[in-house]
Structure 1
Amino acid sequence: MIVLENVTKVFQSKKGKIEAVKDVSLHVKKGEIHGVIGYSGAGKSTLIRCVNLLEKPSSGKVYINGEELTSFTPNQLREKRTNIGMIFQGFNLLKTATVYDNIAIPLKLIGISNEEVKNRVNKYLDIVGLSDKHNAYPGQLSGGQKQRVAIARALSQEPEILLSDEATSALDPETTDSILDLLLKINEELGITILLITHEMNVIQKICDYVYVMENGEIVEHGSAIDLFTKPNKETTKKFLNTIAQRKLTPSLVNQLKLSGSVTRLTFVGESTGQPLLSLVSKQFNVKPNILTANIIELKNGIVGNLVIHLVGDQDEVKAAQQFLKDHGVGLEELEG
């Protein structure tokens, strides 16, 4: 559905060249939700604007449904963009136009009949839960309602692809959750493929099938959401995960608890999350597991449990207990020797 091959974007500035995106490749399958996460300045916004060629790549190729957009003429590209909806952090609504007109005007500009415009506005305002706001102005709406209007506007051209540029970063947590629920609904009921960028790990957690971690213009790590939540390799990925669940002990905490011996993070996925494995460990081996931190993370396609434990006991018994946990599908990572 969306394929980027070795895409690079270079900007010229007074201080010289700025390589915002460096040799990025990705593949978003039809009907999936993929997320690109990174800190400010990582190149996320530039990358997503390369997908619909709002920013033309300096090199590399962009394919949508097998068609190479980077080879299109301006007229061909303009027509193709009607198949790619986009929502923004700042909503981009016309302040002096009603909700109805904010959705209707772009449709009229591409030649859609008045009757069809009316049908589409009504349909998509109903989908986003704002069927009673036709005559309201943006200044009368909350941030979440404004974003819903922006989503309805993007959907009104009936695209196969929806791009989301930090669409929830200006919203409070409760409103963010409602917008994410709406995006899931759009994906599941309308079959729209979604590519989003974000710096919020909870967005990735809730709706993404596949994740790309971006740093300094490059994709430094990628994989399914479950893979990245259970087996992160890069320090940037681990830092993001630490924002929703403490994954490491600080030196001060280690000192305060006077920990010695094996401190281990256990990762449970799928069936292993429902088994009383620590209870079995304490019964079968001469070790005492002391739970230091614990949490369960619900992803779109699975559940991940994390425990940080201090195993107290003879070294051979500790190793045997760890092997028992591995044999039952638990991931182990030594945190402190």
Structure 2
Amino acid sequence: MIVLENISKTFPSKNGVIKAVEEVTLHVRKGEIHGVIGYSGAGKSTLIRCVNLLERPTKGKVYINGQEITSLPNNELREVRKKIGMIFQGFNLLKTATVYDNVAIPLKLLGFSKEEVKKRVEKYLSIVGLEDKHHAYPSQLSGGQKQRVAIARALAQEPEILLSDEATSALDPETTDSILDLLLKINQELGITILLITHEMNVIQKICDYVYVMERGRIVEHGTTIELFTNPTHHTTKKFLSTIVQRKLSPSLISQLNVNGVVSRLTFVGESTGKPLLAEVSQKFNVKPNILAANIIELKNGIVGNIVVHLIGESEDIQAAIQYLRSQGVGTEELEG
């Protein structure tokens, strides 16, 4: 559906050339939701703007539905862009236009009939839950409602692809969840392929099938959401995951809990989530597991359980217990600290 092939984008500056994106390749399959996560300055916004050529890549090719679009003339590119909707962090609504007109004006500019405009505006305002806000102005709406108007405006052109540029960054957690639920609904019911960028791990967690981790213009790690949540390898990925899963023990915590010895993070996924493995460890080996923290992460396509455990016993027994857990499909990682 979307293929970026060795995309690079540079910008001139007083201090030389800025490499915003370097040699990025990614593939988004039809009907899936893919996310690109990275910290500020990683190059995410530049990358997503290369998909619809709002930013033309310095190097590389962009394919949409198998068609290479980077070499298209402007008139043909405009036709391709009609099938690519985009939503932004700042909503980009016309302040002096009603909700109805914010959705209708782009359709009118594209030459749709009055009847078709009315049909589409009513349909998509209903889908985003704003059927009672036709005559309201942006100043009368909450942040979440403004983003819903922006989503309705993007959907009204009936795109096959929706690009999301930090669409939830300006919203509170509860409103963010409601917008993510809406994006999931759009993906599942309308079959729209979604590519989003974010710096929020909970966005990736809730709706993405596949994730790319970006740093300094490059993709440093990628995989299915479950793969990255259970077995991250790059330090940037681990840093993002530390906002959800404990990956380091602070000196104060070590002192308060009187922790001395091996502390591991155990990751349970699939069949291992339903087994009493820690109880088995205490019975099979001369090891006492002391649970320090635990949580369950619900992903779009699965559940991941995490337990931070202090294993008390002789070194050989602890290693045997860890090997047993691994043999049962449990991921193990010794924590720092």
Q: Quick check: TM above 0.5?
A: yes
Q: TM-score per shorter chain, which class? A: over 0.9
- After TM superposition, the structure 1 stretch with the greater mean CA deviation from structure 2, 247-256 or 300-309, is 247-256
Match of 1:45 in 2: 45
Distance 1:188 1:332 in 2: 34
Distance 1:73 1:153 in 2: 26
Alignment of 1:70-219 (within 5 A): 70-219=70-219
Alignment of 1:195-274 (within 5 A): 195-274=195-274
Match of 2:311 in 1: 311
- Tell me the amino acid that sits aligned with residue 183 of structure 2: L
- After TM superposition, the structure 1 stretch with the greater mean CA deviation from structure 2, 277-286 or 79-88, is 277-286
- SS of match in other structure, 2:111: coil
TM-score, normalization: structure 2? 0.98
- SS of match in other structure, 1:70: coil
Match of 1:68 in 2: 68
Q: Which runs of 4+ in 1 moved over 3 A?
A: 255-258
Deviation sequence 1:95-130 (CA, Å, 0-9, x none): 001111111110111111110110000000000000
- SS of match in other structure, 2:70: helix
Contact 1:264 1:336 survives alignment (8 Å): no
Deviation sequence 1:212-244 (CA, Å, 0-9, x none): 000011101000000000101111111111112
- SS of match in other structure, 2:82: helix
Contact 2:285 2:317 survives alignment (8 Å): yes
Deviation sequence 1:266-325 (CA, Å, 0-9, x none): 100022112211111112211100111111100000001111111111222212211221
- Tell me the amino acid that sits aligned with residue 208 of structure 2: C
Contact 1:262 1:336 survives alignment (8 Å): no
Distance 2:319 2:270 in 1: 24
Distance 2:251 2:299 in 1: 30
- After TM superposition, the structure 1 stretch with the greater mean CA deviation from structure 2, 147-156 or 261-270, is 261-270
- After TM superposition, the structure 1 stretch with the greater mean CA deviation from structure 2, 190-199 or 303-312, is 303-312
Distance 2:198 2:212 in 1: 11
- SS of match in other structure, 1:86: strand
The alignment covers a number of residue pairs equal to 337
Contact 1:44 1:197 survives alignment (8 Å): yes
Match of 1:29 in 2: 29
- The CA deviation at 1:78 is 1.0
Distance 2:263 2:132 in 1: 56
Consecutive unaligned residues in structure 2, runs of 5 or more: none
Distance 2:244 2:323 in 1: 28
Contact 2:246 2:308 survives alignment (8 Å): no
Distance 2:84 2:336 in 1: 48
Deviation sequence 1:30-53 (CA, Å, 0-9, x none): 000000000000000000000000
Deviation sequence 1:184-210 (CA, Å, 0-9, x none): 000000000000000000000000000
Deviation sequence 1:128-182 (CA, Å, 0-9, x none): 0000111111111100000000000000000000000000000000000000000
- Tell me the amino acid that sits aligned with residue 109 of structure 1: L
Distance 1:283 1:140 in 2: 63
Distance 1:301 1:232 in 2: 17
Contact 2:248 2:336 survives alignment (8 Å): no
Question: Percentage identity across aligned positions?
Answer: 78
- SS of match in other structure, 2:90: coil
Change (3 A) 1:336 1:17: closer
- SS of match in other structure, 2:144: helix
Distance 1:299 1:144 in 2: 23
- The CA deviation at 1:336 is 5.3
Deviation sequence 1:52-71 (CA, Å, 0-9, x none): 00000000000000111101
- The CA deviation at 1:256 is 4.0
Distance 2:237 2:270 in 1: 21
RMSD: 1.1
- The CA deviation at 1:255 is 4.0
- Tell me the amino acid that sits aligned with residue 297 of structure 1: I
Consecutive unaligned residues in structure 1, runs of 5 or more: none
- After TM superposition, the structure 1 stretch with the greater mean CA deviation from structure 2, 28-37 or 325-334, is 325-334
Distance 2:99 2:262 in 1: 60
Distance 2:168 2:138 in 1: 17
- The CA deviation at 1:14 is 1.9
- Tell me the amino acid that sits aligned with residue 53 of structure 1: L
- SS of match in other structure, 1:111: coil
